[in-house]
Amino acid sequence: MDVSYLIQSHTTHVPIVEVDPETSTVKILKSYVASDCSTVMNPTLLDGRIVGGIAQGTGTAFLPGSVPVSRHRDVPSRSRCR
């Protein structure tokens, strides 16, 4: 049987933040997410992907020494790790 379990969606995240310039403290006020994922077969899985995307993006944004998106290079489509 040739069954594909590929999950693909296109999502945009827009956080609304407040930054204290004196302490560099960042407070996330709201987070908006729009996801175009066609027919949802498993709503729980979709919720997990959205929350996971928020967590990953927030963690990366606050990671010390993170590289701005404009400096990222293209990632090859196949992993070199085996």
Please state the domain extents for the chain.
Answer: 10-62
Instruction: Specify the higher pLDDT residue, 52 or 65.
Output: 52
Is it the case that residue 6 has pLDDT exceeding 80? no
Residue 82 has pLDDT above 50, yes or no: no
* Amino acid sitting at position 30: K
Residue 36: which of 8, 6, 5 has the closest Cα? 8
30 close to 66: Cβ distance less than 8 angstroms: no
Q: Is the dihedral of CA 65, 66, 71, 73 positive or negative?
A: positive
pLDDT for residue 19 is more than 80: yes
Q: What is the DSSP letter of 48?
A: H
Q: Tell me the one-letter amino acid at 36.
A: D
Going by C-alpha positions, the residue among 11, 8, 2 that lies closest to residue 40 is 8
